[in-house]
Structure 1
C-alpha cells in the first residue's frame, strides 16, 4: 500500500518532468541582444542562468544581480557578446519593422524608442517614442497586426545628430510591462546610424532648372549698317561716281569742235540712293551728273555751230 507521503513525492517528481513554459513575448526580427560571457561577468551567474533558460523573461526573475549590472537597459545584455552581423545599418528617418510573437499575452503598455547607451545607466531616449501601445499583447481578441509587425521610422538627423555612428552606441529597444508594472521586459536591436551622403541628383536638378541664358541678339556689324535703299549692301567699299565725258560734236569735215568736261571729284558718301547690287558695289550718278553735263555740252556745241553757219 502506497502511503500519502509517497504519492506527494511521486507527484512532485512527475511535475518536474513537465517542461516549463517560458516566454511572454519574443522579438523574431531583427536579431536582438543575447547573453554571453561579458554578461555573465557583469551581472553574475544566477542572472546569466535565468536569461539563458528563458530568453524572453522579465528582469524581475533575473535577480539577484551584480552591482554593475544594468537590467533596465536590454536586460543587461552587452554589445561585446553580439556578432557583428546583428548590427543593423540604418540612416536617419529610415523605416523599420520589428516582428513580435506574443507567446503569453497579458496586456499592458509598451513602447519602442531609439536609446543612446553611451551615457551609462538605463541610457537616454533620443527624441520621442517611435511607437506606443496602451494594451500590448492583449489577453483577448488575438494579437493585432500592428503589434505582431511593429512599423516605425527612426528619428531625423536633426534629432540624432552625431550620435549612434559607432556600432554598439545605440539600440532600438522594445519595452513592455504588465498592467501593474510588476513584470518588465526589454528587447534590444543594435543599430549603426550612417550619415546621409550628399546626392548628385540634387546638383544636376539645380543645374537643369537654372534660368536659361537668353541667346545673344547682337546683329553682325555688316547688318547693322544703315541702309535705306531698296537693295542690300554687304560691302564697305566707297561709292565712286563715274567720270562722265561729253560727246564730240562734228559740224563739217574741216571744222570740228571738241568739248570736254571736267570729271567730278569721287564721292564717298554712304549709299542712300536706289541702285542694283553688283558684286558688293553700286554704280550710281549724283544729282546733276551725266545727264546734266551732256545737256550743257550739246547746247554749247549747237550755239557755236549756229554762229558759224550764220
Structure 2
C-alpha cells in the first residue's frame, strides 16, 4: 500500500511540474522493464517530472535504452494499455500543456523495431504551443487523428507500433513525446 501511495503522490507531483503530456488515450509509462534497460535514474526522472523534456532523462548508455523512443518506456511495462483501433477509426487525443514552448509537433505511427515513421504523419502542426499567445488554439490540446488503412500489414501485433505525439520546443530547445501502444484489428 505504501508503494502505491508513493507512486500516486509522485505521479501527482509529476503532473504539476509537467510541460506537456498526452492524457488520452493512455500513453506509455515507466516501470521495472524500463529500469532494467535504462536504469533507475531514468525512471526516477520521469516520475519526478513525467512530461518534462527528453533532455532531462538520463540514459545509462545501454544500447537498448533509447530515450528518443517513447522516452525509453518499454512495452513490457505497458501491455495492459494496448488500444485496439480499426482502419479509418478516428482517435481523439487530449493533451495538457501547462508550460507552452512554440515549435512544430505531430502525431505519427512509429515502427518500434526501427524507430521510424510508418507512412505520413497523422496530424502536423507547423507552430504548436506558442507561449506568445494569450490562449492556445483549442486544437493544441484536443485533436483527432484517423488510423490509416494502408499500413501494409504493420501494427497488427501488440508492441510493433505506437502512435507517437512529438513536440519540439524550438526556442526552449526541448523535445517532448508520448507513445500510445495500439494494434489495428
Normalised TM-score (structure 1):
0.52
Tell me the alpha carbon deviations over residues 137-158 of structure 1, each in whole angstroms, 9 at most, x when there is no partner: 12123121111112111222xx
Tell me the alpha carbon deviations over residues 245-300 of structure 1, each in whole angstroms, 9 at most, x when there is no partner: xxxxxxxxxxxxxxxxxxxxxxxxxxxxxxxxxxxxxxxxxxxxxxxxxxxxxxxx
Contact 1:43 1:65 in 2 (8 A): yes
Q: Which runs of 5+ in 2 are unaligned?
A: 1-12
Count of aligned pairs: 170
Equivalent in the alignment of 1:129: 121
**Offset, 1:66:** 2.9
More strand by share: 2
Q: Which runs of 5+ in 1 are unaligned?
A: 1-18, 195-310
Contact 2:102 2:171 in 1 (8 A): no
The CA distance in 2 between the partners of 1:110 and 1:98, in whole Å, is 13
The CA distance in 1 between the partners of 2:144 and 2:89, in whole Å, is 11
The CA distance in 1 between the partners of 2:65 and 2:98, in whole Å, is 27
The CA distance in 1 between the partners of 2:119 and 2:113, in whole Å, is 16
* 2:91 matches 1:96: yes
Contact 2:88 2:147 in 1 (8 A): yes
Equivalent in the alignment of 2:47: 52
Contact 2:101 2:171 in 1 (8 A): no
The CA distance in 2 between the partners of 1:90 and 1:126, in whole Å, is 16
The CA distance in 1 between the partners of 2:125 and 2:167, in whole Å, is 9
* 2:153 matches 1:153: no
Normalised TM-score (structure 2):
0.86
In 2 relative to 1, CA 72–64 (structure 1 residues): closer, same or farther, beyond 3 Å? closer
CA RMSD of aligned residues (A): 1.7
SS in 2 for 1:114: strand
Query: Equivalences for 1:1-310 in 2 at 5 Å?
Result: 22-67=17-62, 68-84=64-80, 86-119=81-114, 123-139=115-131, 140-156=133-149, 159-180=150-171, 182-194=173-185
Greater RCO structure (CA 8 Å; 6+ sep): 2
Q: Return structure 1 stretches of 4+ with deviation > 3 angstroms.
A: none
The CA distance in 2 between the partners of 1:64 and 1:130, in whole Å, is 29
The CA distance in 1 between the partners of 2:139 and 2:120, in whole Å, is 19
The CA distance in 1 between the partners of 2:60 and 2:140, in whole Å, is 31
The CA distance in 2 between the partners of 1:33 and 1:77, in whole Å, is 6
**Offset, 1:65:** 3.1
